[in-house]
Structure 1
Amino acid sequence: MKEKIKGLLAGLIFRFIALCTLGQISPILSACIIVEHEGKILLIKRSDGLGYTIPGGIVRYKETVEECVIREAEEETGYRIQINGLVGIYSAIERDPRFRAVSIAYRGSILAGMERGSSEGETCWREPEAVFGQMAFDCEKMLKDYLSGQQCLS
């Protein structure tokens, strides 16, 4: 419930700022990473009930996109990861119903760590077919692009 309220508040604040600036505000930048092991994908079953997502989050002011995705993956899953490539850049206007956001999706692998969840949700490994139709935001598109091996710019 706490995560759902945080998402709603962030969305309201962002919409208020967009209104005050007459739409002259940049989208929020986020990053995520797809990690596959033995045919299963590392996912977060969100605590706010929105479904499954790929580990990741919003880029902080004083960090690079790559630093963000490494930090967020460890915070959400307990794993230290490395980035192995780019899946795509996702900028559809309505990709996140809470606020206007652009996301960069990477592919990666685990370096170390022990699996654990966070306030964001429960860490889990799922076969892609088991979560299609149950993914939040545009994570399903990202996962399908990853599985196809084609880089996406949308």
Structure 2
Amino acid sequence: MARRDYEDDPGAPEANSLVPAASAVVVDGDGRVLLQRRTDNGMWALPGGKMELGESIGDCAIRETYEETGVTVEIMGIVGTYTNPGHVFAYDDGEVRQEFSICLLARPVSGSLHTSDESIEVAWFTPDETDALPMVSSIRKRINDWRSGHGPVVS
């Protein structure tokens, strides 16, 4: 399913759904961050997705990271909460989702990199390498918030 991101865009469609979600800044022992290139918009992003009934936000981040990257993680803390009502995702099925995401800090504990139906590439990057990657501004904000060490952030 295709997705278009709008952030503080007066031409954005009005949100018709609000879904709790989690993402993870997964940092390995060398200080590299795990990213995936998404199939729905072609941009680099943190692993993450919507929370399912019966799971915690931490469990959601662990599940989504494994599903999208093949890496099992342990949650270490929180990077921030991201709830900008001006940030919406428009899907080709008509859903326009307002962002409500908790970004957690995690470390890898097992697994090996693989893509999924949601990711066309998965790789580790140094913080400086992330600067040149195409990504939506909300993902870049999460990475920059982690890099600055001023967490947890509420935005």
Q: What's the TM-score, normalizing by structure 2?
A: 0.79
Q: Residue in 2 aligned with 1:131?
A: 130
SS at match of 2:109: strand
Unaligned runs of 5+ in 1: 9-14, 19-24
SS at match of 1:33: strand
Kindly indicate whether the alpha-carbon contact (under 8 Å) linking 1:44 and 1:52 is maintained by their aligned counterparts in 2. Answer: yes
Residue 27 (structure 2) pairs with residue 36 (structure 1)? yes
Residue 115 (structure 2) pairs with residue 114 (structure 1)? no
Matches within 5 A, 1:40-119: 40-98=32-90, 99-119=97-117
Kindly indicate whether the alpha-carbon contact (under 8 Å) linking 2:31 and 2:126 is maintained by their aligned counterparts in 1. Answer: yes
Cα shift at 1:129: 3.1
The structure that is strand-richer by fraction is: 2
Q: Residue in 2 aligned with 1:148?
A: 148
Q: How many residues align?
A: 137
Kindly indicate whether the alpha-carbon contact (under 8 Å) linking 2:15 and 2:88 is maintained by their aligned counterparts in 1. Answer: no
Kindly indicate whether the alpha-carbon contact (under 8 Å) linking 1:86 and 1:106 is maintained by their aligned counterparts in 2. Answer: yes
Which amino acid is the alignment partner of residue 87 of structure 1?
V
Q: Which has the higher contact order (CA 8 A, sep 6+)?
A: 2
Q: Which runs of 4+ in 1 moved over 4 A?
A: none
Cα shift at 1:134: 1.5
Could you tell me how far apart the structure 1 residues matched to 2:14 and 2:88 are?
16
**Distance of aligned partners of 1:118 and 1:50 in 2 relative to their CA distance in 1, 3 Å threshold:** same
**Distance of aligned partners of 1:16 and 1:138 in 2 relative to their CA distance in 1, 3 Å threshold:** closer
Q: Deviations over 1:90-144 (max 9, x none)?
A: 0111334331021000111011111111111121112233333621251100000
Which amino acid is the alignment partner of residue 108 of structure 2?
I
Kindly indicate whether the alpha-carbon contact (under 8 Å) linking 2:15 and 2:98 is maintained by their aligned counterparts in 1. Answer: no
Q: What's the TM-score, normalizing by structure 1?
A: 0.79
SS at match of 1:142: helix
Unaligned runs of 5+ in 2: 5-12, 91-96
Aligned alpha-carbon RMSD (Å): 2.1
Kindly indicate whether the alpha-carbon contact (under 8 Å) linking 1:96 and 1:137 is maintained by their aligned counterparts in 2. Answer: no
